[in-house]
C-alpha cells in the first residue's frame, strides 16, 4: 500500500507542472468527483436510493454514506482533529434528503480541510498522505460504481450528461 501511495504521489507531482501537488490533486480529482457524487445523489430518484444492482452489493444510498463516512474520517485526520460526525450517525441516515445532506456536509468539511493543505503537510506522515489520497481518489472509485447504478435505473450519470451537453450539435 505504501508503494502505491508513494507512486501516486510521484505521478501527481510529475503532472503538477507549476502547481503544487495538493492544488493539482484537489482540482483534478477532488473537486470534479465532489460535483459528480453530489449530482448523482440529486439525479437518482428517491425511490431508487435503496436500489442494488445485485443482492450482495451495497445500495445506492449505502455507497453515498460510505463516501461521507470516509470523508469525515480522512478529513478529520487531515485537520488533526476528531471526526465531527461519528460513523454511526452518518450510516443511520435514511432517504434521499438525509443521505444527500450528510454527503454534501462531508464534502464541505473536506473542502475546508483540503484548502488548508500544503505539500509539506500532506507528505509529513504516511497517515497524512493516505488520508489525502484516499479523499481525492477513493471517491472516484465510488462514483465509478454509482455510474452503473444510475444507468441501470435509467439515469444518465452527471459526468456523461455534462459531456453530452457540451458536445457540439451536429
Q: Give DSSP secondary structure letters for the chain.
A: -HHHHHHHHHHHHHH-TTS-HHHHHIIIIIHHHHHHHHHHHHHS-GGGTT--SSTTSPPHHHHHHHHHHHHHHHHHHHHTS--SS-HHHHHT--HHHHHHHHHHHHHHHHHHHHHT--HHHHTSSHHHHHHHHIIIIIHHHHHHHHHHHHHHTT---HHHHHHHHHSPP-
Residue 103: inside a domain, yes or no?
yes
Residue 162: inside a domain, yes or no?
no
Report the percent of the chain where pLDDT is more than 70: 89
Number of domains in the chain: 1
**148 lies in which domain range?**
24-42+56-153
Residue 166: inside a domain, yes or no?
no
Residue 61: inside a domain, yes or no?
yes
pLDDT (0 to 100) of residue 16: 43
Residue 130: inside a domain, yes or no?
yes
pTM of the model: 0.85
Residue 13: inside a domain, yes or no?
no
Residue 136: inside a domain, yes or no?
yes
pLDDT tens, residue by residue, 40-81: 999 999 999 999 999 999 999 999 999 999 999 999 999 999
The pLDDT of 10-30, averaged and rounded, is: 66
Residue 165: inside a domain, yes or no?
no
Amino acid at each position: 500500500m505504501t508503494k502505491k501511495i508513494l507512486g501516486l504521489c510521484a505521478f501527481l507531482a510529475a503532472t503538477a507542472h507549476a502547481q503544487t501537488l495538493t492544488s493539482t490533486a484537489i482540482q483534478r480529482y477532488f473537486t470534479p468527483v465532489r460535483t459528480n457524487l453530489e449530482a448523482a445523489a440529486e439525479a437518482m430518484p428517491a425511490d431508487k436510493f435503496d436500489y442494488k444492482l445485485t443482492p450482495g452489493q451495497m445500495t445506492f444510498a449505502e455507497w453515498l454514506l460510505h463516501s461521507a463516512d470516509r470523508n469525515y474520517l480522512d478529513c478529520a485526520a487531515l485537520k488533526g482533529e476528531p471526526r465531527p460526525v461519528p460513523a454511526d450517525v452518518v450510516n443511520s441516515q435514511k432517504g434521499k434528503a438525509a443521505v444527500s445532506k450528510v454527503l454534501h456536509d462531508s464534502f464541505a468539511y473536506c473542502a475546508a480541510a483540503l484548502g488548508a493543505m500544503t505539500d509539506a503537510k500532506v507528505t509529513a506522515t504516511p497517515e497524512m498522505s493516505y488520508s489525502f489520497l484516499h479523499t481525492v481518489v477513493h471517491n472516484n472509485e465510488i462514483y465509478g460504481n454509482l455510474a452503473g447504478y444510475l444507468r441501470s435505473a435509467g439515469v444518465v450519470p452527471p459526468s456523461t450528461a455534462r459531456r453530452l451537453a457540451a458536445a457540439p450539435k451536429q
